[in-house]
Amino acid sequence: MKLKPLFDKLLIEPEEANKTTKSGLVLPDSSDKERPQMGTVVAVGSGRVNEKGEVRAMNVKVGDRVLFKKYGPDEIELDQKKYLIAEEADILGILE
């Protein structure tokens, strides 16, 4: 099944949080409760419509790895795989 987000919405495939530090320490599940998360943009909407009816293009594109607010996006399931739908405002940055 395909999903095309509307307006300024994004479909994100979330990355699993790293449970082990570089030095080999295993982190408990509670260690990442308030941290932003990362994922890959799978689909983007057309952009936000302003007061004049003009569409402002999105700043992110399909394939971008993004950092987003933990509790901003909504979780959905498509074809037994978990995705997130976020607004462009929930994106904190693009990872390069």
Mean pLDDT value of segment 11-18: 81
Number of domains composing the chain: 1
Residue ranges making up the domain that contains 48: 1-16+35-63+73-96
Q: Is residue 54 part of a domain?
A: yes
Mean pLDDT value of segment 47-76: 89
**Sign of the alpha-carbon dihedral angle for 87, 44, 85, 60:** negative
The mean pLDDT of the chain is: 83
Q: Is residue 26 part of a domain?
A: no
CATH number of the domain encompassing residue 86: 2.30.33.40
* C-alpha pair distances (Å), 91 with each of 27, 39, 86: 25, 10, 8
Q: Is residue 24 part of a domain?
A: no
CA–CA separation, 21 and 70 (whole Å): 20
pTM beyond 0.85: no
